[in-house]
Amino acid sequence: MPLDKNDPSTFNHKYATVNGIRMHYVDENSSSQKPLLLIHGWPDLWLGWREQIPFLVELGYRVIVPSLRGFGETEAPESHEHYGMGVISQDLLALMDHLALPTVTVLAHDWGGAVAWRFAQFYPDRVLAVGSFCTPYSPPARVHIPLEKVVEVLPNFKYQLYLVTPEAEKDINENTANFFARIFRPIAEASKDPLIDPQTGTLQAGRSVVPKSDVISQKVFDYYVKAYQQAGARGGLNWYKQSFNNYNQCKDLPDNVTQPALMVVATLDRALPPSMSEKMSEYIPNLDKLTVEGAGHWVLWERPTECNDILKSWLTKVYPIESSPKL
């Protein structure tokens, strides 16, 4: 069955026990010797890469896309103690070992970008190159900075103060379809209201209902809703409770990323505005930085042609598919 970006069932779904949890992942074109590891963010799943997976397969890459710890069909430990960038990096390393992959190139979006930068630092001999959409690199914290203090410096992260509350979990679990209809929209269709409503103080509870965007196919939308209805929101929200774990697990890492790196910013990204990436070149000597004008946070499927063109150009330079030798 050919891959259909609008039908999640057409992808090659696999499962493995890694680092003590059962992980779900998609694995396409497994005969290729050029593996790519694609990492999603919140409230996403592997399916956030649906526009890129067939494209990268067509280029000749093996494309491996896990649902991360806490998301979808991958196990979600109840306690936030069992998360953190070091733990997630161990999950990914164990998946690589399960698949007998000595090295990969990593591509990432949103929280996945934060993971990818740290994964490249934890295991520099296993990660050949690293690319991030929207999520800038920042060096590991040398002291613990609580979320409340982070928000004082980065007020665009204020919504995270709600996401760490029990009310946020209840909000998403009781309003799953309406939550995804509100959050998964191209920037041109997005409400001017903040993510957390200033009147209700919620993501969706008590707010008006918006219709699903036509950009999202019904099968894709239903997949997200079903995944969250089955697993609940807690695992993904646990990622926002990691300020200490992330500090503690990453405090001994270096300041720099040495691998070839790609940073793609979207000019209308409200969660991760381009200004946050301005100093990255100080820490990443081999950095290519590109901009998608007029795009929002969901740039991967909002502007897939531009994102795919960027990936093709960068991968051709840092991680090329060798042409077959002439006979």
Q: Alpha-carbon distance 203 to 272, whole Å?
A: 18
pLDDT of residue 190: 85
Q: In the numeric block, which tokens belong to residue 123?
A: 């295991």
**pLDDT beyond 60 at 327:** no
pLDDT of residue 192: 78
Q: Alpha-carbon distance 228 to 85, whole Å?
A: 22
pLDDT per residue as tens digits for the range 246-300: 999 999 999 999 999 999 999 999 999 999 999 999 999 999 999 999 999 999 9
DSSP state letter for 326:
P
DSSP state letter for 20:
T
> Which helix H or strand E contains 136, and what residues bound it?
none
Q: What is the mean pLDDT of the chain?
A: 95
The CATH architecture that domain 8-318 belongs to is: 3-Layer(aba) Sandwich (3.40)
**pLDDT beyond 70 at 325:** no
Instruction: Choose among 318, 312, 323: nearest CA to 127.
Output: 318
pLDDT tier, 59 (very low <50, low <70, confident <90, very high otherwise): very high
Collapsed DSSP state (helix, strand, coil) of residue 280: helix
pLDDT per residue as tens digits for the range 71-103: 999 999 999 999 999 999 999 999 999 999 999
0.75 surpassed by pTM: yes
Decide: residue 156, CB within 10 A, 0-12 exposed, 13-18 middle, 19+ buried.
middle
Q: What percent of the chain has pLDDT over 70?
A: 98
pLDDT of residue 326: 42
pLDDT per residue as tens digits for the range 144-170: 999 999 999 989 899 999 999 999 999
How far, CA to CA in Å, does 194 sit from each of 133, 197, 202, 278? 21, 6, 10, 24
**pLDDT beyond 50 at 324:** no
Neighbours of 198 (CB within 10 A): 7
Q: Alpha-carbon distance 201 to 1, whole Å?
A: 45
Instruction: Choose among 80, 43, 68: nearest CA to 223.
Output: 43
**pLDDT beyond 80 at 245:** yes
Q: Is the dihedral of CA 80, 81, 86, 90 positive or negative?
A: negative
pLDDT of residue 323: 57
**pLDDT beyond 90 at 191:** no
pLDDT of residue 193: 78
pLDDT per residue as tens digits for the range 112-142: 999 999 999 999 999 999 999 999 999 999 9
CA angle 145, 146, 151 (to 5 degrees): 95
- What are the residue boundaries of the structural domains of the chain, listed by start? 8-318
